[in-house]
Structure 1
Amino acid sequence: MRPIPVDDPAGRLGRWSAGRGPLHLLLACRLRELVDEGRLPAGTPLPPDRAPAAGLAVGRTTVVAAYDLLREEGRLVRRRGSGTWVAPGGGRGPRRTANPMFVNLLEPPDGVLQPACAGPLWAPPEYVEAHRRALDRLGGPDLGHHPLGQPELRAALAARYTALGVPTTPAHVLVATGAQQALALLVRALVAPGDEVLVEAPTYPGALDLLREAAAVVRHSPAGDGVAFADALTRHRPALAYVMPAVQNPVGTTMPALERRRLARAAVGAGVPLVVDDVLAELAFAGPVEATAAHAPEVITVGSLSKVVWGGLRTGWVRARPALVERLARFRAVHDLGGSVLDQLAAAELLTGFDAVRDRRVALLRERHDHLAAGLRREPPDWAFDPAPGGQTLWVRLPRGDAASYTQVALRHGVAVLPVMAV
């Protein structure tokens, strides 16, 4: 294998240091790209620490730290006296996710019960009818590419936020292919390698995967505690803060209104972009929770229809400042030029009768929650849990052992559940 030239490492690495963040993380990110894209195949030797340090005009410790980080990830093999080279399998394209939530989705149907993937199992009849009405409206002159989102859906979402006490225009709304894409676009726009990001612990594992991919430094605050989160945000002033103040995933807690207000205002005062994930906020058993953005319109809100309507309706959105929305749209245009127009028209139709769809979904979830809670109190009485105030998950504390081992035992009995994801 041909190594990176010792006398000209910058020729292979390109403009690796043009971003923001510590140099060792920027160097590691560039090397990671070369390995994952196959441009540094397995077995490729890398030059000794001092050579690239001189060629890149950095300290030797920068190169050592970058190599060590990639060694910990399994991308490099590094042995004293033998050198450093790309690990076997290190150059076979992007690594597969180890997140058990996503792995469960990738597995073929095999008869295993899937409480690890919470969401409506069937699309409601209103969804089918909304698609029929949307089909009737297709056929007019429309190129079909809307990186910002289909105008009618953006207008419908803006009207809904305004009705909830958050003055919003279509310019504040970007439609995405689900909330996961919305979060991915926000991380790309607002987080550079080495940036600190504040999250709850535990939190939504899909967000953690995105932050790891961005090489962010993750700090955490106890889930559901708005006072502690606001204090940590003010103290650390991270590049981004991500929180689920209403029906938190996976714990299920909802911060009191005063805590949500304090958190929103603390973020604005500290100049920290606060991403509020409201995907589950509509599923509170006691009724919809007041939007956090009502206390501070500068708050960035992520929403979705997948948990209320159906996961197959890949329609999510971001509500943010128009300047940020335009920036996100440019990122999205590179990836997919915009989502399905038919799905977005159907989503706009659903929003006209959304409250009735949501109320039926909440009633069903409350009934299933009570059935599950009764069974847990009866069958394994030494398990501890607090009744959930909403959502689709129940946070259970085992009397002994660890969650990862329990999930393996459950899987052998035909049930897939999720352990706590480490921050």
Structure 2
Amino acid sequence: MQSQSGRIGSQMRPIEVVDRLGRWSSGRGPLYVLLASRLRTLIDDGQLPPGVLLPPDRVLAGALAVGRTTVVAAYDLLQAEGRITRRQGSGTRVTGVPTDAPTEEAPVDPLFLDSLEARDDDVLLAVCAAPGDPPPQLAEAFARIAPELGQIADDIGYYPYGVPALRQALADRYTVRGVPTRMEQVLVTNGGQQALSLLAHALVSPGDQVIVEAPTYPGALEVFREEGAVLRGLPVGLEGLETAVRERRPALAYVIPTYQNPTGAVLSALARQRLAAAGVPLIEDEVPADLAFPGEPSLTPIAAYGDTVISIGSLSKSIWGGLRIGWIRAAPPLINRLARLRAVHDLGGNVPTQLAAMHLLPLLDAPELHQTLKARHDHLHAQLTEHLPSWTVPPVAGGQCLWARLPYGDGTSFAQTALRNGLAILPGAGLDITGNSRPYIRLHFRAHPNSLTEAVTRLTKAWHAYHPPPTPTHPRPTIAI
């Protein structure tokens, strides 16, 4: 079978790979990182399609006039990401980045792009942890701002920093939570994902090391990889960060301190102070922080303990995913730099949406949100305990996910069985660069109770039909600590 972008199942001649690489060595960073970055782009764009055999490292090194270690290191990075496989006697094969469920030969796509849109089949989605429908207050908020829009005059509507009133409201919210904040320290973004993208672009160069939790939010891993970062994993809570900073000199560290995605862990005040003093720019992802169950204590953000801490937040997980409102809290010089970057891409966010967000911020503290979260968590946990008693599924005190450990097998191969039974789930392998989360899957409890019940029914059917492979589906990544 032929492809416009390559010959599936055949080995590409070195000259073909060189032609498609183009000016891969232009840029900042070690050569192997630049080479891996360019190959990654070719794979993700389909110019090196799944099934293609890449040239052996020694042959490609000769064609590129670089050392063999450069190609080996680049291949190792791509293998750690799951974009290629390397097997003795079989060569180096592109596995690609699938947009649906994993297959035996393909890696997990952590973002599950297909799952961000409604499907026209009967597959239940237990992948994207976000509210299943918008609250009625959303329509009410847009109705309330209609008079405000009608009164706007002498205003071109471009706000790279965000609408000032919303920036001030977010600053006030941080101040109330124990982090004195001025409006100049806040940038409004199109969701938390754009906040991460802007920060990664501003703070990470190809070859820079970035310390992340293992496991962690997969969207963050993809953002850092896009910038050519070398990811290093530490246990949840970044235990050992101080040592890693001394030995690795990373450019950045990333942590989810409150209701961690996917484990639901919460860092103590002492642990937060320790991270703030570690001596490295630290991104604290507070997107799940507003998802506490009733009665849970409010914890002070890490930003209260250090000036080098950068906080991000979002309304997408608490209100609705279609409400693309996120933000960054940081020192004013960094906010200014990020605003310049942001202006290059979209000049500014949607003004009506930001005005509506002003009326929706109080929902973050409304009891209805937290009561609903607790009820759905309890429902899913009870269903799993009843129907899958051999699984290990610790309850959590907030957030949106349960981190389930399978008694045998691995999450990636089980996800294939689950999909055949009408359920899309997220395997742990796509969330953990150290390879230590293969026995896990992530399940979210944001859906309606009847949908959660149906999901467990399909999950149980899949588990009874599951036959694990004799070996792990993918090789253990080597880029980790």
- TM-score, L = length of structure 1: 0.81
Cα distance in 2 for partners of 1:67, 1:406 equals 27
- Residue in structure 2 matched with residue 414 of structure 1 by the alignment: 422
Cα distance in 2 for partners of 1:243, 1:67 equals 28
- Residue in structure 2 matched with residue 200 of structure 1 by the alignment: 213
Give the superposition deviation at 1:98: 2.6
Return the match for 2:112 from 74, 95, 101.
101
| 1:88 to 1:122, Cα distance in 2 relative to 1, 3 A | closer
2:291 is equivalent to residue 283 of structure 1:
yes
User: Quick check: 1:315–1:344 contact (8 Å CA) kept in 2?
Assistant: yes
| 1:68 to 1:50, Cα distance in 2 relative to 1, 3 A | farther
Give the superposition deviation at 1:59: 5.5
User: Quick check: 1:154–1:175 contact (8 Å CA) kept in 2?
Assistant: yes
Q: Tell me the amino acid that sits aligned with residue 369 of structure 1.
A: H
Cα distance in 1 for partners of 2:376, 2:232 equals 34
2:365 is equivalent to residue 324 of structure 1:
no
User: Quick check: 1:17–1:27 contact (8 Å CA) kept in 2?
Assistant: no
How many corresponding residue pairs? 397
| 1:287 to 1:113, Cα distance in 2 relative to 1, 3 A | farther
- Residue in structure 2 matched with residue 184 of structure 1 by the alignment: 197
2:143 is equivalent to residue 132 of structure 1:
yes
Cα distance in 1 for partners of 2:34, 2:238 equals 33
| 1:156 to 1:398, Cα distance in 2 relative to 1, 3 A | same
Return the match for 2:379 from 371, 387, 398.
371
Q: Tell me the amino acid that sits aligned with residue 117 of structure 1.
A: C
2:263 is equivalent to residue 251 of structure 1:
yes
Give the superposition deviation at 1:215: 1.9
2:122 is equivalent to residue 114 of structure 1:
no
Cα distance in 1 for partners of 2:179, 2:41 equals 41
Q: Tell me the amino acid that sits aligned with residue 208 of structure 1.
A: L
User: Quick check: 1:264–1:292 contact (8 Å CA) kept in 2?
Assistant: yes
Q: Tell me the amino acid that sits aligned with residue 160 of structure 2.
A: P
Which secondary structure state, in structure 1, belongs to the residue aligned with residue 408 of structure 2? Answer: coil
Give the superposition deviation at 1:227: 3.8
Query: What per-residue deviation string (whole Å, max 9, x for no partner) do you get for residues 307-339 of structure 1?
Result: 111111110011111111111112211211111
- TM-score, L = length of structure 2: 0.72
Cα distance in 1 for partners of 2:255, 2:372 equals 26
Q: Tell me the amino acid that sits aligned with residue 270 of structure 2.
A: L
- Residue in structure 1 matched with residue 351 of structure 2 by the alignment: 341
Cα distance in 2 for partners of 1:119, 1:290 equals 24
Q: Tell me the amino acid that sits aligned with residue 292 of structure 1.
A: I
- Residue in structure 1 matched with residue 101 of structure 2 by the alignment: none
Give the superposition deviation at 1:200: 0.5
Residues 1-12 of structure 1 correspond to what in structure 2 (within 5 A)? none
Give the superposition deviation at 1:284: 2.1
Cα distance in 1 for partners of 2:260, 2:162 equals 27
Give the superposition deviation at 1:67: 7.9
Which secondary structure state, in structure 2, belongs to the residue aligned with residue 289 of structure 1? Answer: coil
Give the superposition deviation at 1:188: 0.8
2:163 is equivalent to residue 150 of structure 1:
yes
Q: Tell me the amino acid that sits aligned with residue 267 of structure 2.
A: M
Give the superposition deviation at 1:103: 3.3
Give the superposition deviation at 1:228: 3.1
Residues 230-309 of structure 1 correspond to what in structure 2 (within 5 A)? 230-266=242-278, 270=279, 272-285=280-293, 286-309=296-319
- Give % identity: 50
Q: Runs of 5+ in structure 2 lacking a partner? A: 1-5, 7-12, 85-91, 98-106, 434-481
Which secondary structure state, in structure 2, belongs to the residue aligned with residue 395 of structure 1? Answer: strand
Which secondary structure state, in structure 1, belongs to the residue aligned with residue 240 of structure 2? Answer: helix
Which secondary structure state, in structure 1, belongs to the residue aligned with residue 180 of structure 2? Answer: coil
- Residue in structure 1 matched with residue 234 of structure 2 by the alignment: 221
Give the superposition deviation at 1:394: 0.8
Cα distance in 2 for partners of 1:377, 1:4 equals 54
User: Quick check: 2:292–2:399 contact (8 Å CA) kept in 1?
Assistant: yes
Cα distance in 2 for partners of 1:209, 1:155 equals 31
2:386 is equivalent to residue 386 of structure 1:
no
User: Quick check: 2:162–2:349 contact (8 Å CA) kept in 1?
Assistant: yes
Which secondary structure state, in structure 2, belongs to the residue aligned with residue 385 of structure 1? Answer: coil
Query: What per-residue deviation string (whole Å, max 9, x for no partner) do you get for residues 332-357 of structure 1?
Result: 11211111111111112222x23443
| 1:64 to 1:246, Cα distance in 2 relative to 1, 3 A | closer
Cα distance in 2 for partners of 1:17, 1:334 equals 22
- Residue in structure 1 matched with residue 322 of structure 2 by the alignment: 312
Q: Tell me the amino acid that sits aligned with residue 166 of structure 1.
A: V
Give the superposition deviation at 1:279: 0.1
User: Quick check: 1:282–1:289 contact (8 Å CA) kept in 2?
Assistant: no
| 1:168 to 1:104, Cα distance in 2 relative to 1, 3 A | same
User: Quick check: 1:226–1:260 contact (8 Å CA) kept in 2?
Assistant: no
Cα distance in 2 for partners of 1:88, 1:102 equals 17
Cα distance in 2 for partners of 1:396, 1:37 equals 33
User: Quick check: 2:363–2:369 contact (8 Å CA) kept in 1?
Assistant: no
- Residue in structure 2 matched with residue 160 of structure 1 by the alignment: 173
User: Quick check: 1:282–1:288 contact (8 Å CA) kept in 2?
Assistant: no
2:182 is equivalent to residue 172 of structure 1:
no
Moved more, 28-37 or 403-412: 28-37
Query: What per-residue deviation string (whole Å, max 9, x for no partner) do you get for residues 91-120 of structure 1?
Result: xxxxx9933533322563423222212221
Residues 22-101 of structure 1 correspond to what in structure 2 (within 5 A)? 22-29=30-37, 49=61, 53=65, 62=70, 98-99=109-110, 101=112
Residues 6-21 of structure 1 correspond to what in structure 2 (within 5 A)? 16-19=25-28, 21=29
- Residue in structure 1 matched with residue 471 of structure 2 by the alignment: none
Cα distance in 1 for partners of 2:421, 2:95 equals 35
Which secondary structure state, in structure 1, belongs to the residue aligned with residue 320 of structure 2? Answer: coil
| 1:39 to 1:389, Cα distance in 2 relative to 1, 3 A | closer
Query: What per-residue deviation string (whole Å, max 9, x for no partner) do you get for residues 178-227 of structure 1?
Result: 1011101111111111111100011001111112222211111111x354
User: Quick check: 1:101–1:205 contact (8 Å CA) kept in 2?
Assistant: no
User: Quick check: 1:197–1:239 contact (8 Å CA) kept in 2?
Assistant: yes
